[in-house]
Amino acid sequence: MIRLVIVWGLFAFVFGKALNLDGTDGSNNELLLSLNKQLLRSLETQEGLPNPSIHLGLRLSNYHNHVKEDEQLTKLKNDLHNEIQSSLRSNQHVTGLLALYSLALKSSCYDLNTVSFRVAEKPETLLAHLKKAMEQEKEHVAFSHRPLTNYYQYSLGVLALCVNSIRVNNHVTHKLIKAAEHENFKHGDVESIDTYAVAGMALQCVKDSGSYTHNAAEIDLALSKIKQKLLASRRTDGHMGNEFSTGLAVQALIAMGSEESEYSISMEAMRTAAGITFTIIPWPYHRLYLPSRSNPT
């Protein structure tokens, strides 16, 4: 199974304002170019299935190698698609992979209505499968107090549906809100900063879409709780949680409209890290997804 979590340097391409992409800061441009090269090099050494997060990072970069991007897209549509098809036929739960696949295709402006999987001899679109998977996750939370997969993948599913203009079921969102309030985002006995970050981006997306009609105040409370958790996780060296989760945590803070002073120390910690490896789900705020989130269906 493809790793859903670790990708190289992906976060930097989505922080337009934070990294001053439109300005003249040479150090930022140098950093972005360096990260872009790391992503391209990772394609040369990539083994097994193509990583949709790498493709997403390349597509959101200001620097493009269209030949490599097209090659990666073809691999996603063939190799990764077939892997997901096989998993679905085996009744495996691949919510996170469905979510990342949809985001990767969307970043290439691919028509997701043309992407389908056949289960029980009935073809259904990728987004229909993802929406069904989220209903199953929600029902499992109701009876077992935990998702079928985990809250990281649950959050990815909410985020992917939202940015693809699919209205997220209020009950699906409500379960994520309550999980944040009850501090259920853990890996073993340790709080998962990665999960808090993705949940924050997912809930912020739902809030901005205006689709959550259950209780607007509780989504704000959950976002506030998540922000507190992220800020409280910051270490003396500036990293949040650990070196691998810092990029995702900073990205979530930016998506939630935090002041630059609240994440600048962590940004600097990432700049000066000896090896730049980040855990990320790109959040192209005001750049790619927001225009397509209008009129959710």
Q: Which residues are annotated as a binding site?
A: 149-153, 194, 242
Residues annotated within the binding site for cyanocob(III)alamin are 149-153, 194, 242
Query: What would the 3-class secondary structure string for the chain be?
Result: CCCCCEECCHHHHHCCCCCCCCCCCHHHHHHHHHHHHHHHHHHHHCCCCCCHHHHHHHHHCCCCCHHHHHHHHHHHHHHHHHHHHHHHHCCCCCHHHHHHHHHHHHHCCCCHHHCEEEECCEEEEHHHHHHHHHHHHHHHHHHHCCCCCCHHHHHHHHHHHHHCCCCCCHHHHHHHHHHHHCCCCEECCEECHHHHHHHHHHHHHHHHHCCCCCCHHHHHHHHHHHHHHHHHCECCCCCECCCCCHHHHHHHHHHCCCCHHHCHHHHHHHHCCCCCCEECCCCCCCCCCHHHHCCCC
At position 140, the amino acid (one-letter code) is H
Instruction: Report yes or no: 198 and 155 within 8 Å, Cβ to Cβ.
Output: yes
Q: Which of 220, 109, 204 is nearest to 158 (CA)?
A: 204
Q: How far is CA 228 from CA 234, 262, 282, in A?
A: 10, 11, 21
Say how far apart CA 177 and CA 221 lie, in whole Å.
Answer: 9
